[in-house]
Structure 1
Amino acid sequence: MPDAEYTVIPNTFASETRPSNDDTPALEKASSSDNENTRVLEGRSSSISSACSSHDVDKDSAQEEDSPYESVRAAVANTDDPTMPSLTFRFWILAVPLTIAVSLFNQIFWFRTLSVGIGGMIMQLGVFPLGKLLEHTLPKRTIRLGPLRVPLNPGPFNIKEHTLLSVCTGAATYVAYAVDIVVIKHVFYGRATPIIGSILLVLTTQCIGYGLAGLCYRHLVRPAAMIWPFNLMCVVMFRALHERETTGGLTRIRFFLLVAGISGAYYFLPGFLAPFLSTISVLCLAMPHSLVANQIGSFTKGMGVLSFTLDWNAITSSLTSPLMTPFWAIANTFVGFVIVAWILAPIGYWGNVWEARTYALFGSSLYTARGDAYPVLDMLNADLSLNEEKYAQVGPPRMTFMFAIAYGVGFAALSALLVHVGLHHGREIVGRLRESLTAADDIHAKLMDRYPAVPHWWYLSVLAISSALGIFACEYYETELPWWGVLFAVATAAFFLLPIGIIAAVSNAVPSLEIITELIIGFILPGKPIANVTFKTYGYIGMGQAIVFLGDLKLGHYLKVPPRHMFIAQLTGSLIAGTTNVLVAYMMFSIMPDICRTDAWYCRRAHVFFNTSVVWGVIGPRRMFGAEGYYSALMWWFLLGLLLPVPFWMLARRYPGSWLRHVNIPVLLASTAHMPPNYPGAYPAWFFVGFASWLTLRYRRDWWERYNYILSAALDTGVAFASLIIFFAFTNNGITLDYWGTQPDCPLLKNTL
């Protein structure tokens, strides 16, 4: 399904999510009490010296006080050096060009069928040697900039500079969600928007969340009870990089460079010379003329049975890195995939439920009742509203069976998440909320009191300016969303921010507002596709960006980065990255007129986004899923999601030491709510790599703790840089190969994304 219903805290430089364009975010997922990766932190506390506090102040008194939470004590230093510089000259000369470069790269390859991206872990590791390089090369002198005296090289590259760089450049590691609107208007609806209008749309959707976040700082960041568990692993990684390694073997940086070099060299095979290595479908190779065998075995267009890949990017372009995901979540995800793709999908398809055999087995394309492509553009008026007369002639659209049940799975995942969080974390959330309101400040809050807080008027100014410019962009640049729609979307985001923020801060789970916002505006403004996706973006991303920003502020809280510097770094990164995203998208429209219409540059996420705009906007939820809708039965999946977590919760309480405690229904369901655009063949490969990582953790814990996350980042880095070379050296110059190894996966089947 198009829309992510269950994500983890998308820390901006931890690749994912964003709540980004990526209808993907990442399933890495909730329930930190079961997360093996988080438990590893507790075993490492004695081995991590306080590298970020080499000039600790109040050390003796700090040792007498620490966080009341064990996981925080294991990961976060209870000391600080307030003389350590953070928003330095080095920050600016690295942050600006790197943010532009990363956003440019990620936007270009967002259009690719197998998308490639530079993730947050890459930036966290990549900026470290650059910072150390400037530490040794910049002259140790001070320059004047007006009334300011700016030291070019204020000493060792430190953990606070590193954090700000990672946060700023991390804003570029995902493509702004509103770019989807720009793309579908230009490519599918044929309505090119002036570039300034697109920039305003993207920047305002990205920045509204910052204003909202400031209103919740004292409730979601400052209190010790608001842990934000995902940040603990980031803190450990920062401290590991800034401490002196005393163990033998390869250092982390050398290991990273070695693996990245091997990964980049290898990627020339699946990335250019032998693309068939990315999607190997055994049944299609064995029985190329059998339609059923192709449907069952296709990596990209079928069920993915006996399919595999020798391409790291083919795994991570659909799912998050299996090396970064705890095995309990991987197991839940794979079980959900098997149930939906290998059990329900064939039963529904060959059982001809909803006339399923009239259409493809897999894909997000829309059809008429006879199986022809749904003539969306022919049914629209000049203002892109639905022409009722033509709609009466053609009728509602039909979907592939897998696309239809992906909507049902998404409905169930949303309601299941609310029930799961209530059952497993409800008492904890209420307790943490009470603590945040009544408990005394912990050591980290006291240490942060040394730094000036961000004035409320900063946040309110960003919120007011973004809202005003958003209203202007929507009214002036033909989105069909009226001014009150923008304000309503912002109010929706603000209404849900505090309760969802508490859930996120305690459990790492982030309920999504996508379906809620689509339903709301679909009923209020039916027949207006651009208005629908615009409202969804302001509401969903408004809250999502606020959650991202609050998570980053908590990271800065743990590492004692001045809040004003964190605000400046994050806002700078978002403004630069969003503007670059739009400029690069328009560049791609210019140099590739057939963008999103070729096998290699198919823009599968944009295709899904367009089709959801038809389902929720052009046709509307009442006609699709209401009482008169062809797919009205899918609304019962909301009830199914409410009921499913209950028996597993009861069994886990009855047998607390059994495997049942690891069953997580929201993760199990949400894993396939993204399929399409995720490819079925990626799930088995993802599972086996994750299983190998789990075995390493079980039997070679020392190696896993030292290298596992760096291995993931190095593989991503190698793929990213090789993709850049391939694009500019070959693709951009029209150099292609044409032989059996470059043919698409299972060519007997059409691409129906």
Structure 2
Amino acid sequence: MSDKHDLDAEKAYVVDEKKIDEPIDLVEDLEPENSKIEAVRLAIPLTDDPSLPVITFRFWVLSFIFAAIGAVVSQYYYFRATTGTYSIYFVNLVTFGLGVLLAKYLPVASFTIGSHSFSLNPGPFNIKEHALIGISVNTAANCAYAIDILSSTDLMLNYRIPPIGAILLIITTQCLGYGMAGSLRKYLVYPAEMVWWTNLVQVVFYNAMHGTEKFKARNMAGRLSYMQFFWLVAGICFVYEFLPQFLGPMFLYFDWACWINPFNRDIWAIFGSIKGPGVLSMSFEWNSIGGSTLYYPFFSQLAYYGGLIFYYWILFPILWLTDAMSIRTYSRPLTSRLYHEDGSAFNVVPLLNADYSLNETKYEAGMPAVMTPMYALAFMVGFISLSACVSHIICFHGASILKAWRSATAGGDRDIHTKMMDTYPEVPQYWYAIFYILMLALSIFVITEYSLELPWWGLLIGAAIGWVMTLPICAMQAITGFSPGLNVITELICGYMLPGKPIANMTFKCYSYMTMYQCQGLLQDLKLSIYMKIPPRNMFVGQIWGAILGGIMNYFTMITIIDAHRSYLDGSSQDPNDLWTGVNTQVYWGSALIYGALGPQRMFSSQGPYGFIFWGFLIGAVIPVIQLGLSKIFPKYQWEKFNVSVFFAGIGYYVGGYCNGFLFSLISVILFGFYLFRYHKSWWSKYAFILAVGLDTGAAITGLVLFLFFSGGLGPRFVVNPPSWWANYVTPQGDNGPYMDVDRCGDSSGNWTGGALSW
């Protein structure tokens, strides 16, 4: 066990050597106790200063400003074709500068309110204060899952839920997971194996900005300091990103194989990335590649991108060229929309009753609805991923989780960073319990008062599912960096419970899924707070603050964008530049139709065309068991490295198309995760994290600038249309001329020169 030495009230807390009277290894134990995870040892300093103030006036001001901006930008990207994000690294940079500025100019005098005294300026802007601002903003700067319900009813049913009900729906779904996070801390946060990989790069960045000893002395290429190197990378990326994000969208969808014969439907269907799987497609836009490819675990990423390539680059072309399941009948190779058997689009709105339930008589009088084959298969692989997640965690990590439980209850051996948090009072369990009960009560009020079709007992069942599935899913995320979604199984269960009710299905899925997903985000932030040594009670306040503020801003941004771009988002017309899209809403609404309005009994009966998808549960559950058996027979092979759940985890994300970026992402994974990490580890440890931060920050700032000053974020006067040139082929009529999309792939008139019949 390690002793803790308080060196000085003004100095940092440092973990020292092991006790001399314990048996020690003269080589290893002369070093301070450290994490058993190599990447954590490389990234996380073993220092702390308990005297630093955390929740300050500066925290409230800066977190409010940047949480509001982040929620707006994330909502903006929800309706964009490219999957950009509001970079937390951008937030860290700007809040650092503003925090230092406030510390310099705010008055230092104390103010008294009642029995409480506080200062607007308690001292220098410190690293913990800074990190909690980032955590609050990160909690807020997401697109709330309840937006899927609100946008689906607005765009697909022309029904807008009143503002009070909409905001309460967002807040309750975002906050219900807090009680679970408190109960699961001991299993999913405290053990060293629960790394939560995205936290590592944030810790590196915070320490680099604040000039802690571990990073201050690092000299980068060209004798640049750590932060100078960051600024160089971020600046270059910021300027460059204007090309693929605005000036030349063709570099975002670089479907070079289509140019061989752009009007051949087979070429379009196989090599196009906007409506098809984008075989061999490239993307020169950094958001499509992602900074996580530089530092996530190699085998996890290999499994993830290997699954995408197998499904979209190998399986799909085979199905398409053989016309399996009549895949060529439908107008788009990849889509979540429903069709009739003759390939015509299925429209459920005329078939709904006044309460949005399915009118059985009208439905039976017409042709039945069918799914495209790739959409049906996406459900099957979703079932495989979910059951494989549970099976894999039990087979290969069950003993570790059980050990963590025993350790937590018996006060046994713990991770060094968890030990260092003993300095601070913990959040009592009843705080989490009270907040959970409050959110559950408000949730019941929302679903009953605003006619969301879900009975109160259905909500309780959904919350229970979230409790059961959170442990394996979050453990997978913490260990590998990837995890399956819970949305598929929740909509299936609700479809059997409440058939014919699409709004109830969406609501049930949202509450069940978000109970798990939001808990996952909170657990990740709790791990970050341990790495950064933020007092737990300060964390509790910061996370709740961010979730509520972000949800409110999400709602008002959604309303603004829908009112401005409704025709592009509801599918009645297409943006000629392929920048605005309602594909996320369409996927969510498509699932609600399948599981809610039509019901799984009708769509997935054993006699129907999609009954095979339920075999996914058995397949996913069995494969990890086989791997466990093989690991006992052939122990020298690391069978657990091939994670079936991760292999299938990302497939459902692209069921609506826009499959760009696979190739360069995989190249980045092999270069950084395999070659550099294995053969040039010192270089990797020095550059990988800061490169990821710089590139992600530059790309995110470009997206923010484009949103505010080119896409109408500050008002209709700030709208600038991209120029028309060879990398953005838009005619004066506002379309792509003879081509279907901006990638110059596909015939806009539908008169193909080969590959398939006209449609």
Corresponding residue of 1:415? 387
**TM-score, normalised with respect to structure 2:** 0.84
2-structure distance, mates of 1:58, 1:270: 46
The one of 393, 416, 419 aligned to 2:365: 393
1-structure distance, mates of 2:725, 2:198: 46
Task: After TM superposition, list the pairs within 5 Å mapping 1:630-709 onto structure 2.
Answer: 630-652=609-631, 662-677=641-656, 679-694=658-673, 695-709=675-689
Task: After TM superposition, list the pairs within 5 Å mapping 1:192-231 onto structure 2.
Answer: 192-217=160-185, 220-221=188-189, 231=199
Corresponding residue of 2:462? 489
Corresponding residue of 1:296? 270
Task: After TM superposition, list the pairs within 5 Å mapping 1:101-500 onto structure 2.
Answer: 101-145=69-113, 147-217=115-185, 220-221=188-189, 231=199, 234-242=202-210, 243-244=212-213, 245-248=216-219, 249-316=223-290, 321-359=292-330, 360-440=332-412, 442=414, 447-497=420-470
Stretch of structure 1 that moved more, 92-101 or 676-685? 676-685
5+ residue gaps, structure 2, are: 1-5, 23-31, 730-735, 737-741, 751-759
1-structure distance, mates of 2:421, 2:455: 42
Secondary structure at 2:653 match in 1: coil
1-structure distance, mates of 2:254, 2:9: 50
Corresponding residue of 1:5? none
Give the partner amino acid of 1:196.
Answer: I
- The structure-2 alpha-carbon separation of the partners of 1:437 and 1:710, relative to structure 1 and needing over 3 Å to count, comes to same
- The structure-2 alpha-carbon separation of the partners of 1:54 and 1:622, relative to structure 1 and needing over 3 Å to count, comes to farther
1-structure distance, mates of 2:748, 2:339: 14
1-structure distance, mates of 2:35, 2:749: 51
Shift of 1:750: 7.4
Corresponding residue of 2:3? none
Secondary structure at 2:117 match in 1: strand
- The structure-2 alpha-carbon separation of the partners of 1:362 and 1:677, relative to structure 1 and needing over 3 Å to count, comes to closer
Secondary structure at 2:567 match in 1: coil
- Conservation of the 8 A alpha-carbon contact between 1:265 and 1:722: yes
Secondary structure at 2:566 match in 1: coil
- The structure-2 alpha-carbon separation of the partners of 1:720 and 1:496, relative to structure 1 and needing over 3 Å to count, comes to closer
Aligned pairs, how many?
A: 700
2-structure distance, mates of 1:51, 1:345: 63
Secondary structure at 1:300 match in 2: coil
Shift of 1:186: 0.5
- The structure-2 alpha-carbon separation of the partners of 1:660 and 1:59, relative to structure 1 and needing over 3 Å to count, comes to closer
Task: After TM superposition, list the pairs within 5 Å mapping 1:50-65 onto structure 2.
Answer: 55-56=11-12
Give the partner amino acid of 1:355.
Answer: S
- The structure-2 alpha-carbon separation of the partners of 1:236 and 1:181, relative to structure 1 and needing over 3 Å to count, comes to same
Corresponding residue of 1:745? 743
Secondary structure at 1:149 match in 2: strand
Per-residue CA distance 1:33-78 (angstroms, 9 max, x = gap): xxxxxxxxxxxxxxxxx99997245866998898685236776556
Per-residue CA distance 1:130-156 (angstroms, 9 max, x = gap): 433434444444344554332233233
Give the partner amino acid of 1:208.
Answer: L
Corresponding residue of 1:722? 702
2-structure distance, mates of 1:724, 1:509: 27
The one of 543, 547, 551 aligned to 1:570: 543
2-structure distance, mates of 1:51, 1:302: 62
Secondary structure at 2:241 match in 1: helix
Residue 581 of structure 2 is aligned to residue 608 of structure 1: no
Percent identity for Structure 1 against Structure 2: 36
Give the partner amino acid of 1:554.
Answer: K
Residue 693 of structure 2 is aligned to residue 713 of structure 1: yes
Per-residue CA distance 1:65-95 (angstroms, 9 max, x = gap): 9868523677655664322111122211211
Secondary structure at 2:237 match in 1: helix
User: What is the root-mean-square deviation of aligned Cα atoms in Å?
Assistant: 3.2
Shift of 1:693: 2.7
2-structure distance, mates of 1:337, 1:96: 38
2-structure distance, mates of 1:94, 1:644: 49
2-structure distance, mates of 1:52, 1:575: 39
- Conservation of the 8 A alpha-carbon contact between 1:350 and 1:356: no
Shift of 1:240: 4.5
**TM-score, normalised with respect to structure 1:** 0.85
Per-residue CA distance 1:543-592 (angstroms, 9 max, x = gap): 22223223322332343322111000000000111110001111212333
Stretch of structure 1 that moved more, 538-547 or 132-141? 132-141
Per-residue CA distance 1:617-673 (angstroms, 9 max, x = gap): 111222222324321112122222223334444455555555766322221122323
Residue 512 of structure 2 is aligned to residue 539 of structure 1: yes
- The structure-2 alpha-carbon separation of the partners of 1:436 and 1:271, relative to structure 1 and needing over 3 Å to count, comes to same
Shift of 1:504: 5.8
Shift of 1:324: 4.1
- Conservation of the 8 A alpha-carbon contact between 2:72 and 2:554: yes
Considering Cα pairs closer than 8 Å and 6+ residues apart, tell me whether 1 or 2 has the greater RCO: 1
2-structure distance, mates of 1:159, 1:67: 23
Shift of 1:184: 0.8
The one of 711, 717, 723 aligned to 1:731: 711
Please identify the structure whose Cα radius of gyration is greater: 2
Task: After TM superposition, list the pairs within 5 Å mapping 1:617-636 onto structure 2.
Answer: 617-636=596-615
Corresponding residue of 2:25? none
- Conservation of the 8 A alpha-carbon contact between 1:106 and 1:118: yes
- The structure-2 alpha-carbon separation of the partners of 1:629 and 1:324, relative to structure 1 and needing over 3 Å to count, comes to farther
Per-residue CA distance 1:503-533 (angstroms, 9 max, x = gap): 6666666554322211211100011111111
- The structure-2 alpha-carbon separation of the partners of 1:701 and 1:145, relative to structure 1 and needing over 3 Å to count, comes to farther
Give the partner amino acid of 1:748.
Answer: G
- Conservation of the 8 A alpha-carbon contact between 1:345 and 1:401: no
Per-residue CA distance 1:695-737 (angstroms, 9 max, x = gap): 3444543443233233223323323332333344333345424
1-structure distance, mates of 2:697, 2:580: 21
- Conservation of the 8 A alpha-carbon contact between 1:407 and 1:634: yes
